[in-house]
Amino acid sequence: MEVIVTDPLTALNGTTVKISCIFTSCYKVDHGKFSMNWSYQETVNDTREMFMVFQKNRLQSLSSERFSDRVSFVGNVDKNDLSITLADVQVQDEGQYHCFVRNPPDRILGLGTINLIVVTELPPPRDTTIAVAIGASVGGMLALLILSMVVVKCIRRHRKQELISDEQKMEEEGKLDADGGGEEASKQL
């Protein structure tokens, strides 16, 4: 079993963020045996607070002062998606989110850890004009270099073919002369 998550995940204060957790397993989900849970850990040394559980074909949100009604399950267990959304993200929500998965008869237990970083304002957009200009210049120069190499190779190939055809003409002319000279000699006899 493998658990695929986005780590780290950045969210803007006051927005809604989707915290994705996708798992792969060799076995199809049997809702009676399948289990998963989501937990939150403020720092590495803090204990985990479980806030959502799926067991015996039942999804249950556990009462949590931290999240109250802000967490929703948006995944689809049958499609191996255990994603949740966290509404009205607060600075206090920053920390580690753990997605634990168990899908018997798969013996491997899955665990995904997502570090949520909450920012109060988005960073200014990057000016990529210079990078685009440099990339276009380098790409253009490479294209010209490749084009010139192709042209040079074509010219060389054409010259080589001309030399070969000139040599063949000379050989044919030499054979004709030799053949023609032989006919004249037999006529004279």
pLDDT reported for residue 82: 96
With a cut of 70, list the residues of the chain below it in pLDDT.
122-124, 176-189
pLDDT reported for residue 180: 58
Helix-strand-coil split of the chain, %, nearest 5: 35, 30, 35
Our CA angle for 88, 85, 73, nearest 5°, is: 135
pLDDT reported for residue 2: 93
